Structure 1
Amino acid sequence: MDSSSEPVTSQLLCRHITSEISENQHNFTVTYLINTCGLSPEGAILASKWVELQSSERADSVLEFLRNYGASQTQISKLIRSRPTLLSTNPEKTLLPKLEFFSSLEISNADLLKTLAFNPHLLLVSLRNRILPTYNFLRSMLSEKNVGVLFKLNSGIFLQGHCKHVVPNIGLLRESGMPQPCISFLLTRGTRVLMNKLVLNRSREVLKTWGWSEDDFLSAFRKNPWCMIISEKKLMQAMDLLVNKMGWSSGMIAKYPVALGLSLERRLIPRCSVVKVLLLKGLINENLNLGSLVKPAEKQFLEIFVNRYLGEVPELLSVYQGKVDIQDV
């Protein structure tokens, strides 16, 4: 054989052996994820793209650690399916400090594990650089108990951190005259609002064109802060529907700002269409409160405003479903 061909032959042999080893490791990882972690075959194949196990030793130690901490097999499966790289961590160095910290937030072990199963990346984010700075910021405004409440309601703030949006938004609220107790309540219960970029000043200007006073604006914000992250276009469409087409006053809408955050296509327009038909036919009082329209769940709304009047207006359900126009009833 020509000696010049030997390097090529060696390269091919090496490539084959390397490929075989890699495939065996991949098969081991998939099998481990299925048999030990409880993932489905499809889930295991997807997860294996993010972690490659050389052996079961490290992964076994992670699973044993989680079990000893009280995690159920279902919770462990959720954790590994969402963050398979957990299997390659050192549980004593990476997981234990975070679990000990979160356990200090005046929440039960069951609530902690439930939150972590929902948001497993909390076990991988830096405790020193992200979690503790955010915690210290929250404690400057909230009690330890309310930080625990916030953690259960929206643990995502410990991932995103407080600097990008939360701090600037709180500054904006203070400039707008919102009292500190209201800001603290919003931080605890409506954290997601503050984690988005507020369009507070733009919303204020849009709503003032519809006759809202500064008191209307602040009152509406306290009741439903979500209405202040709605786009200008959505605000204009909702106000046009409620004021111009339905005849409610701006003051009425300020009392029920939740209406501004409802989906136009799925909720607001169908309900307004039904109520408009009933008003035109004189079947309901023209002084109907806006809250009566926006507060009921769908089943309750259908019972109160649709099913009850099908005898007088057989097409009412079709109006609600968008199959029949108001003028055709």
Structure 2
Amino acid sequence: MKAMVLAAGLGTRLKPLTFFAPKPMVPVLDRPVMAHIVRLLEAQGFTELVANLHWHADAIRSYFGDRLEWSYEPELLGTAGGVRKVRDFFGDDPVVVISGDALTDLDLRALVQRHRETGGIATLTVKRVPDPSQYGVVVCDRDGRITGFQEKPDPAEALTDLASCGIYCFSPEIFDYFPEREFVDWAQDVFPVLLDNDVPFYVHEIDAYWNDIGSLAELRQGTWDALAGRAQVERRGREIAPGVIACDGQLALDGVEVVSGPVWIGSGCEIGEGVRLIGPVVLGDGTSVGAGAALRSTIALPGSRIAPSSILIDAIVAGDDFVDKLPPLSALAGSATQAA
């Protein structure tokens, strides 16, 4: 099976992290969020993958190498225009598309099956959310046929609580409904045309975990969910003390006070005397925490340097080279375990 990962976006809501790196390379626990996606796809039989690139393209391409095919966009083509550019990659196969910043454990095979069963031209993955005002939501009838959309509606005016996850399956005929220009957006340009022409397309509702790692708040929540096992994703490490997962099995915590877990510690970390960790805390590979520092609800991306006696609460810490400090794919292969 074939699938496309959308990885060309600018990641404006993740600034300042995306000044230095593309959004798909921002890590959740021990690997870029896009690596979680690629692993999920491959585990479910999607052996042919393609991704579009634009912002910091070389960082993504050099990390994943020939594991995917690449489609570079000198100018952004939009969420749908980028897919049309690689239409020959899919040929007559279903066009499966997933966002490069989606942290999820859904079964994409079920999405493809739903698409085949309905016989529609498009199938959109949706999930019920408590606050529709934060999402683009999808209106459908009792059979799941889509009848309309609302973009971040006021809760009093929301007609549905089904958020679009940005994970789709299309029939190749979908490209017949594109406008004659290069930049094309699914929500603004293609889906309204399907509605206007009474073309059937449907929802695929999921109960699986899904989080759009599109903002700092969502990055924090997705990391905590992965750490706690609410998102069933792979990670390295084993428990070396109650509530403490470490990638270095011989890591010594002498002189370090873990007030509460969970705490995840990557490879090559240095933790000074008298440090206090109040979970949840994530220390990426190569992080250095100076003596006497106190961290609470803090994420330190790989290679971070935390000064002695610092007090960090609800913080995300990163240097401008955190992508260079990420563990390579070869270090992740065969060593990952599922969060529990």
Would you say same fold, with TM above 0.5?
no
Task: Tell me: higher relative CO, structure 1 or 2? Use CA pairs within 8 A at least 6 residues apart.
Answer: 2
Q: Into which bin does the TM-score normalised by the smaller protein fall?
A: under 0.3
> Could you say which structure has the higher helix fraction?
1
Q: Quick check: which has more Rg, 1 or 2?
A: 1
Alignment TM-score, normalising by the size of structure 2: 0.26
